[in-house]
Structure 1
């Protein structure tokens, strides 16, 4: 074309969680039965929302307004309900005008980063959830800027790394955090969160907190929302119903804007997000209307507690499955429904393999692994040999090698098979090749 129509950040639009599906489908087409452990969809893995929640949603179909547009920021009485929920926490207070609905957090994330000034950067965690890291990089046209999560300290943020990067890079306008975290399952204690708030306060920047898993915490410390620890720092919390009901197909998420009036520039930025939403008219109405009815139902706290107990038991299964596996570091997840397996440094090489019975699949995997990262090589061999699909850790903007799995498989026997197969495959893969490698470091967090 006579002009370059490609966005400067187009090359940064990468989402390994979904991209790995293409390789999996190719292998499936050659006869391998696949077990999809790559994506956080509880419903797809066999968890049905409770009947009473389904009944509420079904009943909304009979209300004519559920078929209509709603106000740009969302249904008024729903925003009033959510503002009351925030204010019950006795932290930062909000009004309904501080609640802004989007068609899922993917939509919200694209808008939040897309309307930042081009030179304004958001410092995010590594490992990074791909939607955030790709959107931030794409908006700027440069690689995502990150701070380290420490696998030797429960995947908690390296506060010195945050402090130094904010201090010496004045393009950083915000700090992103996810607690509970995807992909590690870490939950940050109050003192860590308050220290991040102190850094933001000192350097006059805002905080963006992805709280989509805020009500899935099973580490004993309990739930902790942004409004309870941010103090007077401007911030945006991201919430949704996809992981809680669960109803991922609803594509219903919202922003809770905190301390908008504390900074004029931050306030104008938030106004630009609302103006951008106005161009779309509104977000989907019916899922919003379900929120006060579901979250305000006396059965909802029990629903959340039951799911937290369920994932706590599965987290114990993770710890037991990898206990004594000398090749990896696995921290027991404390929230959300993911876990990360990290290979110890120096273990992975390009001559390691898993035996694949089907010669067509074996040849396909050999083609796929040419030139890929060492952990992605393992993931491809795992798919070819066992059909289990996990996501390589390097796909999360991370220098460590490993993979992310989920706690979502609803079939107990199949979940046990997945964990046993993963451990056996790690042992076999690491021990293959011309020489058995020597690991550096030791297992922690189990």
Structure 2
């Protein structure tokens, strides 16, 4: 097992800001309006439902991260404890979702918010955002984590101003009927919003860089998850309650903000809220996704050059370059934001299934080690993991029904990944085994 750093690693504060940055990110600002279009005022319940399902996966993931801190945990755990091919397909599917859906979604959303202040091309702004954080992460994980903390402060201040000024402007008439499209509408909206709630899971992918990870990972979840849940429910209530579901459907949060925020605070909300939320998401993705390329290269499934590090900054410059080039290519593609959001959700929902299977396997084969990771009985954590599996599969089906063409393309990409895996394992190197994860 790769041991966490003890002196110069990622601290609890850094871990919390990375998690909040991944959760409260560009998807919140771009997908809230899309979810409102699906379920109207039921978006508040959709947020709670999506978060509830996400929490079922968060706690077993926290258990694995605390018991076995390592780099690329969302791949390593299922690869060692369940199935290497399944773990690879999940990582491949997530990569397609993040490179083709997540990063361009965040970048385009940044451009839309800047466009509300200045006459500028959203695509051009998105390109600038991707380029900036590619450069920041080339300088190293520590500078990127420090930037994350600074943006986190501005993000919380901006979201707080949206909630405080917006709450008095909420009108009950805008909240009825509460569920115009019934339970199916709420569940489908929850599927769209699911990845908005999921981000904290990915902190286990930098577990090898986290200081005292066995304690820090569970504590960071305990801080970030309740904080974000309150923010989400409040944001959804204010957004719909101030302008109504018709005006909010498909719109960004800049629409309700313009109704009740003073001009100066509107700028703060766009810069400190929307742009910092998007920036923390983009920054965190650039911090984490090269870790997948690193562990896949170590496992003989990717070229070793993708894990090569810069001599000066010790950063995976080629891996970062792959992330940057793929995301820029997707940025200029013709897919609309709603389709990007669905594409992002496919990878997140699929990834959780093998990770939950790994949690169940760890509880069965390593009960003593995992019991010390969380102050919860192993049986309770196993129940959460077992319930998260069918719920994630259900969300995947709902998302597929929302965007069948994009889902078919994503499944096609999995077929390509499976073919690549078969070819690589027949001609490539033997995997590097992590002995501490063996049953």
Using structure 2 for the length normalisation, give the TM-score.
Answer: 0.31
Pick the structure with more helix per residue.
Answer: 2
Using structure 1 for the length normalisation, give the TM-score.
Answer: 0.31
Pick the structure with more strand per residue.
Answer: 1
Give the number of the structure whose alpha-carbon radius of gyration is greater: 1
